[in-house]
Structure 1
Amino acid sequence: MIKCFGITFSIHPLFTIMLLLSIITGYFMEALTLFGIVLIHEMGHVAAIRGFGWRLKIVRLLPFGGVAEVEELGNVPAWEELIVAIAGPLQHIWMIGLALLMKACGVFDPVWWDYFIQANLMLGLFNLLPILPLDGGKVMQCAVSYLLPYHRTIRVSIMLSLILSLIVVGVAIHEIALGRIQLSIAVVGVFLLVSNWYAWRQVPFHFLRFLAVRGERGSILIHSGTLAQPIVVTKHRTIEQILKLLKRERYHLVYVVNEYGKIQGVLPEQRLLYAFFYEKKQGSAVSELFM
């Protein structure tokens, strides 16, 4: 790990292996260029993260980009997360523009500028694929969170990422079988597949973190003024089941009805969160909150 300007950087073993292979094969300059591009890409994320006042834990540098790990997880507005996600790919635009200008002015070797432009296009477009933890995957997850409850958003986005990761690996294997070596794509595909499999197993923890800060987020929505979205359930629904219906960008009032559709009570979402965390009634029916 390396600490610079108050930021902790971690270089993934895949990147280290790639740099070592580049030295052996005589492509060190190309690997160093790729490293610089990835670093600038991640600094775009870091600038947006610090601009919003998020708490940055570590920046992990990968061969195809990087991952800026933060404390915030589903407890900030989705539009902030969207801006942070696209701040990285946006860096490739000015880098390509600068390369075209330098090449036109005859500064340095034009062959190197061609590689620089190609590497920027490759990394920028690849990172826009809707696969977590790529930037495109984060954009996809933000968009889905406006349509679905957050618990379902997590599951859908990770499941889609798993499927697309398998497709990436399948394409790479197909290319290898035809003699067109795409080992790097296969390695990246496997990495994405493993990452999303791990993320799938962590869904309960991810959702629990979301609920842990939901009370604070709900208070912010109330103080700023918001339209409440109703959740209508029967009295037999458990508190945990109802909390899985919460949407990230909405404040909810829970209407409990009987079998005839008559409203038996209305609960703010904070009441259910209190019962979940402090009264340990995760599996209890919501009707118990009226007793």
Structure 2
Amino acid sequence: MAAGRRRPYPPARRRGPLHLGSILGVAVFVHPLLLVLVALAAALGLPGQLLLLLAVLATHELAHLVAARLCGLEIARIELLPYGAVVDIRGPGRREPLVEAVVALAGPLNNLLLLALSIALHQAGWLAGPWVAPFQAANLAMALFNLLPALPLDGGRILLAFLKRTRGPRPAVALLGRLGRTVAVGLAAATVLAFYWRVLAPHLLAAAITIWVGTAREEQWVGVTALRGLWTKRGRLRRAGILPVHRLIALETASLRQVAEALRPGSYHEIVVVDEQQRPLGELDEGLLLRGILHLGLDAPLRDLLEWRA
């Protein structure tokens, strides 16, 4: 290598989910933690249980996909986790609480239906084999675990859909963040207790990590989610022709991010900007707020938006 010239270091690789391919036009990724559990199950000589769990997980996610398609939505990406998945849903109605709840509930409901069907067939003598009891246990565990009120689980998604309408995105995510961390700590404590009783329970530890990481990611992206909600609400107003209106009062020092996160998905908002003495300085609507975010950024204060508008 010539003197005075340095070979640049190769760019650092980003660690993240592994891209497996596409199914029905949906990009499928797998979380590294799921790969760790797969390797652990193989090392412990549990290939049958592993295949059974993956089959139950596949039917769970397929139910989400079918429900989203029936609701007129599009799934662009699925990231498989040890006990579920993070699904990137796109479409004009994805922010509607009822639609979000239906899509989220489809996975656990599918597992409960498979459980009930297998019990009925087994009692009728039409279903037998050593795999029946593990299949039933896996479906029951998948359904109950995903109904816990924590992100990124389905129970957390259902609760978040309705809390966002009544409290706004950030307060809703903050509440679910506290619930999620409580659940994660409880699962981690159960792992330690099981180890004390000489029972290995890596699945409980994996579940705790999944919830903790998923909660942190949801809190990190709440601002971006609010911005997406602002953008899609414009199209919803054009289609519906009418939306309820709410008025907010905000200090001129509040950031555009804070205002966007306080908006409710199902309503249109007017924002009254006041100074420290609560004297009105001007009024904004969601359209101006969105244009301000695009031109000034999420962290700009409201006073800058008023000056930019003038």
Superposition TM-score, scaled by structure 2 size: 0.79
Counterpart of 1:282 in structure 2: which amino acid? A
* Alignment-derived partner of residue 290 in structure 2: 273
Counterpart of 1:252 in structure 2: which amino acid? H
CA apart distance, 1:223:
5.0
- Report matched runs for 1:84-163 at 5 Å: 84-163=103-182
Q: CA–CA distance in 1 between the matches of 2:122 and 2:282?
A: 70
Q: CA–CA distance in 1 between the matches of 2:272 and 2:61?
A: 44
Counterpart of 1:208 in structure 2: which amino acid? V
CA apart distance, 1:173:
1.3
> Could you say what secondary structure the match of 2:29 adopts?
strand
Paired residues of 1:75 and 1:217 also in contact (CA < 8 A): no
Query: Does 2:58 match 1:51?
Result: no
CA apart distance, 1:252:
0.6
> Closer, same or farther in 2 for the Cα pair 1:27/1:137, shift >3 Å?
same
> Closer, same or farther in 2 for the Cα pair 1:18/1:264, shift >3 Å?
closer
CA apart distance, 1:84:
1.0
CA apart distance, 1:152:
2.6
Q: CA–CA distance in 2 between the matches of 1:254 and 1:21?
A: 54
> Could you say what secondary structure the match of 1:106 adopts?
coil
> Closer, same or farther in 2 for the Cα pair 1:235/1:25, shift >3 Å?
closer
* Alignment-derived partner of residue 224 in structure 2: 208
Q: CA–CA distance in 2 between the matches of 1:141 and 1:209?
A: 12
* Alignment-derived partner of residue 236 in structure 2: 220
Counterpart of 2:246 in structure 1: which amino acid? Q
CA apart distance, 1:268:
1.8
* Alignment-derived partner of residue 183 in structure 2: 164
CA apart distance, 1:32:
1.5
Which ranges of structure 2 fall in alignment gaps of 5 or more residues?
1-19
* Alignment-derived partner of residue 194 in structure 2: 175
Paired residues of 2:29 and 2:78 also in contact (CA < 8 A): yes
CA apart distance, 1:146:
2.0
* Alignment-derived partner of residue 12 in structure 2: none
* Alignment-derived partner of residue 42 in structure 1: 61
> Could you say what secondary structure the match of 1:146 adopts?
helix
* Alignment-derived partner of residue 282 in structure 1: 300
* Alignment-derived partner of residue 3 in structure 2: none
Counterpart of 1:277 in structure 2: which amino acid? L
Counterpart of 2:26 in structure 1: which amino acid? I
Counterpart of 1:250 in structure 2: which amino acid? S
CA apart distance, 1:139:
1.3
Counterpart of 1:210 in structure 2: which amino acid? A
> Closer, same or farther in 2 for the Cα pair 1:42/1:290, shift >3 Å?
closer
Paired residues of 1:162 and 1:193 also in contact (CA < 8 A): yes
> Could you say what secondary structure the match of 2:237 adopts?
helix
Paired residues of 1:75 and 1:210 also in contact (CA < 8 A): no
1:128-169 CA deviation, whole Å, 9 max, x = no partner?
A: 111111111111211221221223323332343233212211
> Closer, same or farther in 2 for the Cα pair 1:92/1:75, shift >3 Å?
closer
Paired residues of 1:162 and 1:197 also in contact (CA < 8 A): no
Q: CA–CA distance in 2 between the matches of 1:65 and 1:153?
A: 22
Q: CA–CA distance in 1 between the matches of 2:70 and 2:271?
A: 35
Query: Does 2:94 match 1:78?
Result: no
Q: Report the identity percentage.
A: 22
